[in-house]
Chain A
Amino acid sequence: MTRIEVLKTYKLYIGGQFPRTESGRYYPLLDKKKNVIANICLSSRKDFRNAVVAARGAFGGWSGRAAFNRSQILYRIAEMLETRKAQFIEELLLQGATKSQAEKEVTLAVDRLVYYSGWCDKFTAVFSSVNPVQSSHFNFSVPEPTGVVAAVASEDSSLIGLVSVIAPIIAGGNTCIVLASESKPLCAVTFGEVLATSDLPGGVVNILTGNAGELISHMASHMDVNALVYCGSDKATIKSAQELSALNVKRFFNWSLNWNDGSSQNPYLICDLQEIKTTWHPIENIGTGGAKY
């Protein structure tokens, strides 16, 4: 008797769980020869809403962790991704990449995670400042995480675009909901499995698959989302997302970058999703000689 292959069901990643879309909607993912590779969840606004609840719930714990601990966890994600390289390469091949492209993309994704892992406990030192003021105060500014971030990952790549947008967001202590590439969603779901085994608390990263055009207005208008990152270049989408973001003065960023390029990884992306808090701490007197804190 011939064995029937056991196929994987590609689901969403919300709050550390792998639910199907609540809407029950799917779209078929086709390979070059128009064969169906998998049925992918077509997420609804309610899936997004559930993901926001999960992300909000996880925010206190994640932002409250020591920066060094966040760094360790990002490194752990890199470790997990490295050990599952073969699976990601296989999925990239299914989605039309060549062997060498696929290998390069996975390696780059691992390296990118290690890069941001290193920045976790260092970026605050770079972006903080002690400010000279005209009164007897010790005045200093420090970055703090913005909160819950919604993101639309690049449509062009399956893995590197997703990792490159998630890493700087969570490195800074935010939690996020990321919509994966609609045409190349396989690695996104598998990356959720990597996250689930990386000591990353459930809800810090939530991954949806589906249509950006359908979901972005809900991402931009949701009052409990603090920032929106859009990795695309559609002018009309950017304009309407910016307008809706104004509802709760949400931060909007258009990261239209070439993620395969080394220059696309930098600490300024972490800093985009930070709010600067300035503290005025009273001191006895001012002056260069004898300021007493």
Chain B
Amino acid sequence: MKKIDFTQTPVIDQVSVEERVARLNTRSIKKSAKVEGLKLALNLIDLTTLEGKDTAGKVKQMCYKAMHPHDELPGLPTVAAVCVYPTFVGLAKKELGDSGVKVASVATAFPSGQSTRQIKIEDTKFAVSEGADEVDMVISRGEFLVGNYNYVFDEIAEVKEACGKARLKVILETGELSTLDNVRRASEIAMRAGADFIKTSTGKIQPAATQPVTLVMLEAIRDYYYETGIMIGMKPAGGISTAKSALNYLVMVHETLGNAWMNNEWFRFGASSLANDILMQLAKEAKGVYQGGDYFSKD
């Protein structure tokens, strides 16, 4: 395998990235295309609850919502997965049964990642043993920022090994990486260390997912695919709460990576309130009148 020098990853032209995002955002998606886009977006959601105050009841309710987003509207897909802390994985797995909705678990001392390697590996193994289909890990941002790229690489590789068959999503926490150059570099490290998905944020740090950051990561995935033929998934998370912005993200994915990525094997939204906004827009298209939050389940 070719030896990679992570200090030499491509530099990013921030102004051009922002201009390209702005240009893509002018695409207009209306009527039946919008309905299809919204249904797809719903099917791409990792319905997420990652609060200190989470309870078994909250997780159960969210699992029901994942399988039955809004029964009043026929023909809706389920969401892609629910995303919870490792302690709730067993419960979520049981609740979701054979519905096809996957269980994703955060691990490796989420959200700060400030713990020992050993604990992070144990955390991952516990989540997988409870039945997690997917593991969302955080990278060590401190080590990354001081330039200790090998440390970050090795850690991801070890967690990947601990995952076994579970797919690994690597959270870069771009809100703490300062520059788009760093986002590109962290993406390269994660992909080459064995990530199945790269993910923007934990949702605990502002800014969370932004379009420029997502575009940089999508381009890193594209370049990696051209180089190796390996597909890597993408998951923007945090801060995407409106149906309109979800459609904007889908346009970016389609323009950058193409149709092969337009399904929940390769693209996800990490979100909690996005689902309801999409449902409200779908109901608006079906019934012809603007909807109100009172008529949709909260969790």
Contacts and interface: CB of A to CB of B under 8 A. Distances in A.
A224 B292 contact: yes
A11 interface: no
Q: From DSSP, what is the main secondary structure of chain B's interface residues?
A: loop
Contacts of A248: 292, 295
B208 to A, nearest CB: 19
A221 B290 contact: yes
Interface string B267-299: 000000000000000000000111111110000
Interface string B170-198: 00000000000000000000000000000
B105 to A, nearest CB: 33
A203 to B, nearest CB: 15
Nearest to B292: A224
A40 B294 CA distance: 34
B289 A56 contact: no
A224 B289 contact: no
Interface in B16-41: none
A76 interface: no
B181 to A, nearest CB: 34
Contacts of B292: 222-225, 248
Contacts, number: 26
A224 B293 CA distance: 7
Interface in A233-250: 247-248
A251 to B, nearest CB: 14
Interface in B57-115: none
A223 B294 CA distance: 9
B144 to A, nearest CB: 37
B290 A56 contact: no
Contacts of A221: 288-290
Contacts of B295: 223, 248
By CB atoms of chain A within 10 A, which of B288, B290, B291 has the most? B290
A52 interface: yes
B290 A218 contact: yes
B290 A49 contact: yes
Interface in B140-194: none
A218 B288 CA distance: 10
B177 to A, nearest CB: 31
Nearest to A46: B290
B26 to A, nearest CB: 13
Contacts of A222: 289-290, 292
A241 B295 CA distance: 21
A56 B292 CA distance: 10
A120 to B, nearest CB: 26
Contacts of A224: 290-294
Contacts of A218: 289-290
A24 to B, nearest CB: 13
Contacts of B288: 221
By CB atoms of chain B within 10 A, which of A49, A56, A223, A224 has the most? A223
A247 B288 CA distance: 12
B159 to A, nearest CB: 40
Contacts of B290: 49, 52, 218, 221-224
A170 to B, nearest CB: 20
Contacts of A247: 289
Contacts of B293: 56, 224
Interface in A204-232: 218, 221-225
A247 B289 CA distance: 9
By CB atoms of chain A within 10 A, which of B288, B289, B294 has the most? B289
Interface in B198-248: none
A175 to B, nearest CB: 14
A224 B290 CA distance: 7
A248 B296 CA distance: 13
A224 B284 CA distance: 12
A218 B291 CA distance: 11
Nearest to A217: B289
B199 to A, nearest CB: 28
B24 to A, nearest CB: 19
Nearest to A247: B289
A52 to B, nearest CB: 7
By CB atoms of chain B within 10 A, which of A49, A218, A248 has the most? A248
A221 B288 CA distance: 9
Nearest to A226: B292
B38 to A, nearest CB: 16
Given A218-B290, A223-B291, A224-B290, 11 more contacts: A56-B293, A221-B288, A221-B289, A222-B289, A223-B292, A223-B295, A224-B291, A224-B293, A224-B294, A247-B289, A248-B292
Q: A-B pairs with the 3 shortest C-beta distances?
A: A224-B292, A223-B292, A221-B289
Interface of B: 288-295
5 contacts: A49-B290, A223-B290, A223-B295, A247-B289, A248-B292
